[in-house]
Amino acid sequence: MDNIRTKNQQLKADEKKYIWYPFTQMREHEKEDTIVIEQGDGCILKDIDGNEYIDGISSLWTNVHGHRKKELDLAVKKQIDMIAHSTLLGLSNVPAITCAKKLINIAPKGLKRVFYSDSGSTAVEIALKIAFQYQQQSFKGDRNKTKFISMTNAYHGDTIGSVSVGGIDLFHSVYGPLLFDSIQVKSPYCYRCPFGKTIKDKTHPSCGFECIAHMEAVMKKHAHEVAALVIEPLVQGAAGLLVQPEGYLKKVRELCSRYNILMIADEVAVGFGKTGKMFACEHEEVSPDIMALAKGISGGYLPLAATLTTEEIYQGFLGRYEEFKTFFHGHTYTGNPLACAVAIANMEVFEQENIIENLAGKIKRLAKKLQPFLSLAHVGDLRQKGIMVGIEIVADKKTKEPFPPQKQTGRRIILQARKQGLIIRPLGDVIVLMPPLAVSINEIDRICEITYESIRAVTEYG
Ligand code: PLP
């Protein structure tokens, strides 16, 4: 026992000494006790001190079937007995081929080719480069089309290309001088509508879809110079789970086709069941020209990403070697066999366990359990799409005035939830809930109870 205590103390001293954490003000971190996770099982995480927590954000929106899912564990073990890594530059490997075929089988119908990488950021980066190069060199492309349309509140990752099409100033403004220009349209943040409108209910906007008229006006003006539009379909995740009004995505698809602009759907966060369908685009029967996938693609086990394209885009890269139409891009771990093996097992579990069909009941339960939140004094907006939830906390519900940032209200709420055994993460003052799809009804109830009490404790008595 003493041995374990000493070992844990050493670990905690070392984590403070050696690790620089992502998206973390390290001065604050240095003063805090860090939870060090050692094990997981289903939707439960266990730390080195033996404490258990519900994984309320699916290990950053990525875990699907729970931790230590037997079929996924086995897929990794079996593959490790064959080979852990071999390059996709000049060679192929068995899991990469099978995984690509499976992805195309489940993807929106127009998508036919798979380009692998290893994170959401690289999947988007690749999408941007493919769209740009396609316009430059394809017979059907247009060399004048060199720009991108992106959206306010967008998040597509942290590499320079994906930051260039991002729209969250807090994360992105400091890198301004390094970025390429993109043409930004106002995204539909209905709670704080940028056009000053309101919606009667979520399915029948009483507004006149000003966001779409705005999008069309921008496209009309810039179509001649725009290679592609980048969108997070249905939900802008990192901005605080901003759910787009019904019909928005379909309209955007129609406009892209009308104005000859490629549509890049970034399904990194929303893909693999999170919205209640395998892909968010399915809700509105949209097939994008390019789709970026990561996170849930490997069930949340290993870093894997894929950029899917239409056959037409792929054909735009064919030519004699000396024409240099090749897509000169690739990462060391592109198509990694271990990651692809677990991605195959992930997709098989979706089929074998009817995950999407069984999810409907959980989504309903979540919606029911969330209803009482709206009567809390400081819950301004409640947004849910599938298993994804954003609860926007405000100082004043009438004026929608936020709490001052130095109060760190969102952060204090999630720290309160931790004390009750729930791991969640805020986006500013939006509390995000996004458990693995494997979450049980009991766990949903517990997640909602703890979150409700934590919001009350911090905003009403804190
Ligand atoms: N795109 C979207 C919509 C995301 O939500 C994220 C991450 O949250 C990314 C891209 C970047 O993914 P990664 O963190 O794997 O680079």
Give per-residue pLDDT as tens, 161-172. 999 999 998 888
Q: Which residue has the least CA distance to atom 10 on ligand 1?
A: 156
Structure token pair of residue 430: 């939006």
Mean pLDDT across the stretch 19-24?
95
Query: Residue 435 to residues 56, 240, 372, 373, 440: CA-CA distances in angstroms?
Result: 4, 16, 19, 18, 10
The rounded Å distance from CA 102 to ligand 1 centre is 22
The rounded Å distance from CA 234 to ligand 1 centre is 15
The rounded Å distance from CA 139 to ligand 1 centre is 32
The rounded Å distance from CA 275 to ligand 1 centre is 16
- The answer regarding whether domain 73-352 maps to CATH 1.20.970.10 reads no
Structure token pair of residue 258: 């009308």
Structure token pair of residue 72: 């996924």
Q: Which atom of ligand 1 is closest in space to residue 237's alpha carbon?
A: 5
SS3 of 88, please?
coil
Give pLDDT, residue 461.
86
Question: In testing the pocket of ligand 1, which one of 116, 125, 156 has its CB within 8 Å of the most ligand atoms?
Answer: 156
How far apart are alpha carbons 160 and 165 in whole angstroms?
9
The model's confidence at residue 92, banded by pLDDT at 50, 70 and 90, is very high
Give pLDDT, residue 172.
81
Query: Residue 88 to residues 121, 298, 358, 424: CA-CA distances in angstroms?
Result: 20, 18, 36, 37
Q: Which residue has the least CA distance to atom 7 on ligand 1?
A: 157
Give pLDDT, residue 170.
85
Q: Which atom of ligand 1 is closest in space to residue 162's alpha carbon?
A: 10
The model's confidence at residue 49, banded by pLDDT at 50, 70 and 90, is very high
Structure token pair of residue 361: 């009941």
Give pLDDT, residue 205.
60
User: Would the pLDDT of 204 be above 70?
Assistant: no
The rounded Å distance from CA 287 to ligand 1 centre is 20
User: Would the pLDDT of 200 be above 80?
Assistant: no
User: Would the pLDDT of 202 be above 80?
Assistant: no
User: Would the pLDDT of 201 be above 80?
Assistant: no
Please write the tens of the pLDDT for every residue from 238-263. 999 999 999 999 999 999 999 999 99
Q: Which residue has the least CA distance to atom 13 on ligand 1?
A: 120
Give pLDDT, residue 207.
87
- The reply to whether 35-65+356-460 and 73-352 are identical in fold is no
Question: In testing the pocket of ligand 1, which one of 116, 121, 297 has its CB within 8 Å of the most ligand atoms?
Answer: 121
Give pLDDT, residue 206.
72
Q: Mark out the alpha helices in 234-282 (DSSP H runs).
A: 248-258
User: Would the pLDDT of 154 be above 70?
Assistant: yes
Q: Which residues line ligand 1 (CB under 6 A)?
A: 119-121, 124, 155-157, 232, 237-238, 266, 268-269, 294
The model's confidence at residue 178, banded by pLDDT at 50, 70 and 90, is very high
Q: Which atom of ligand 1 is closest in space to residue 269's alpha carbon?
A: 5
CB 111 within 8 A of CB 308: yes
Rg (CA), the chain: 22
Selection from 67, 53, 41, 61 nearest residue 415 by Cα: 53
Residue with tokens 């517990």: 446
User: Would the pLDDT of 175 be above 90?
Assistant: yes
The rounded Å distance from CA 146 to ligand 1 centre is 24
Stated pTM of the model: 0.97
Q: Which residue has the least CA distance to atom 1 on ligand 1?
A: 156
The rounded Å distance from CA 43 to ligand 1 centre is 21
CB 303 within 8 A of CB 334: no
Average pLDDT over all residues of the chain: 96
User: Would the pLDDT of 288 be above 70?
Assistant: yes
Please write the tens of the pLDDT for every residue from 362-421. 999 999 999 999 999 999 999 999 999 999 999 999 999 999 999 999 999 999 999 999
Domain ranges within the chain, ordered by starting residue: 35-65+356-460, 73-352
Q: Which atom of ligand 1 is closest in space to residue 120's alpha carbon?
A: 12
The rounded Å distance from CA 152 to ligand 1 centre is 16
Question: In testing the pocket of ligand 1, which one of 21, 126, 155 has its CB within 8 Å of the most ligand atoms?
Answer: 155
How far apart are alpha carbons 430 and 381 in whole angstroms?
9
- The CATH homologous superfamily for domain 35-65+356-460 is Aspartate Aminotransferase, domain 1 (3.90.1150.10)
Mean pLDDT across the stretch 358-365?
98
The rounded Å distance from CA 237 to ligand 1 centre is 9
